[in-house]
Amino acid sequence: MISNAGGSPPAAAATASPRFHAKVIELNLIASLHVAQAANAVMQEQPDGGSIIMIGSVSGTRPSRAPRPTAPPRPACTTWSPAWRSSGRPKVRVNTVVPGFVATDASLRTTGDAGAAAAIAVGVPLGRMATPEDVAGACQFLASPRASYVSGSA
């Protein structure tokens, strides 16, 4: 099971309303928890267990010049992995993929223009933004038997 719930309408963290923040936390954190609980219950009954993969975000661990309300709930997905590993063991592996900025139509709209996106890419050690295929490849590995000894990792 891959939980990739997240996002929010554009808003500045400093001025968004308490209700807005609560809804963002509900989507970015609580929804993922509920789906993981349901998946864990099913996987516990399967002979080979399963793999739960949370999609976190580097925005939750690195400061941003324009903090967004989606940043605070993201580290919680990352910290779940070790806790879930203990509750799911040994049948269910739980890990978090923490991608950097992923070049999608939606994320590129967020940057405003190609120049801003290029400036972000310069600050990435690999010199480019991630692609959806990069994230999918990490998820495929974690869901596969090749990652049978990987649990509680981000």
Between 149 and 5, the higher pLDDT residue = 149
CB distance 139 to 99 below 8 Å: no
At 12 the three-state DSSP class reads coil
CB atoms within 10 A of CB 28: 24
Work out whether the CA dihedral 3, 61, 152, 31 comes out positive or negative. Answer: negative
pLDDT for 42 beyond 90: yes
Closest CA to 53 of 145, 132, 141: 141
Domain 2-147 has CATH 3.40.50.720: yes
pLDDT for 104 beyond 70: yes
Q: Where are the domains of the chain?
A: 2-147
Q: What pLDDT, on the 0 to 100 scale, is given for residue 135?
A: 95
Instruction: Quick: pLDDT tens for 82-92.
Output: 666 566 567 89
Token digits of residue 50: 């399963």
Give this prediction's pTM.
0.82
